[in-house]
Amino acid sequence: MEEITSVLFVCVHNSARSQMAEEFLKKFGGNRFAVMSGGLEAGTLNPLAVEVMREEGIDISTNKVKSVFEYYKNRMIFDYVITVCDGAHAEKCPIFLGTNKRIHWGFEDPSTVKGTLEEKLVAVRDIRDEIKNSVKAFVKSSTSPHKNLYIFKQDLTDQAYSPVHSEKGNEISL
């Protein structure tokens, strides 16, 4: 029987980025993952995120926003806690005892995009696609023999993901 990996995605309001990441991991990871998401301050679903996920065939319009602190208070343990907000907010995430790996994927906040409705949709689609690609790479890496490794390190100079390295420093191709 295959081991199930538990994952918690965290962002500021659980209104867009963490919701998208949760749904993509459910879609691409199937029953190999127990996945949840939460916000540092639970907000309301971002309608732009709802729309761009609908374009992917995923309906998040009835999803509930959740507080990450509820998981913390209930002493939940996760194999991975993945923050998908900016670095300053990621540092405010509580420490979950028993968590094997804490990973940060920095994505722009969809609630801060500016412009016309169409320009905002274009920007949120880009964010959605970055999240989707990160989740796909995570799923692929979790099926490799290097499962419990630090998965991503973002290169802030060009906003691209650098190669994955094992704890021994060996480069791993995804």
Helix (H) or strand (E) holding 104: strand 101-104
171 has pLDDT over 50: no
**What's 26's domain CATH number?**
3.40.50.2300
Q: Which residues are catalytic?
A: 11, 85, 93
Is the distance from CB of 74 to CB of 54 less than 8 angstroms? no
14 has pLDDT over 50: yes
Report pLDDT for 100.
Answer: 74
Look up residue 93 and give its DSSP letter: S
Rounded (5°) CA angle 17-22-25: 125
Give the span between the Cα atoms of 131 and 119, in whole angstroms: 19
Domain that holds residue 21: 5-172
Indicate the pTM of the whole model. Answer: 0.78
Q: What is the mean pLDDT of residues 89-111?
A: 75
Report pLDDT for 43.
Answer: 86
Task: Return the half-sphere exposure (C-beta side, CA atoms, 13 A cut-off) of residue 64.
Answer: 4
Write out the two tokens for 19. Answer: 């919701």
Total structural domains in the chain? 1
94 has pLDDT over 70: no
Q: What is the mean pLDDT of residues 22-31?
A: 96
Give the span between the Cα atoms of 130 and 9, in whole angstroms: 15
Report pLDDT for 41.
Answer: 86
Report pLDDT for 38.
Answer: 93
Q: What is the mean pLDDT of residues 17-28?
A: 97
Give residue-wise pLDDT tens across range 62-91: 999 999 888 888 888 899 999 998 766 556
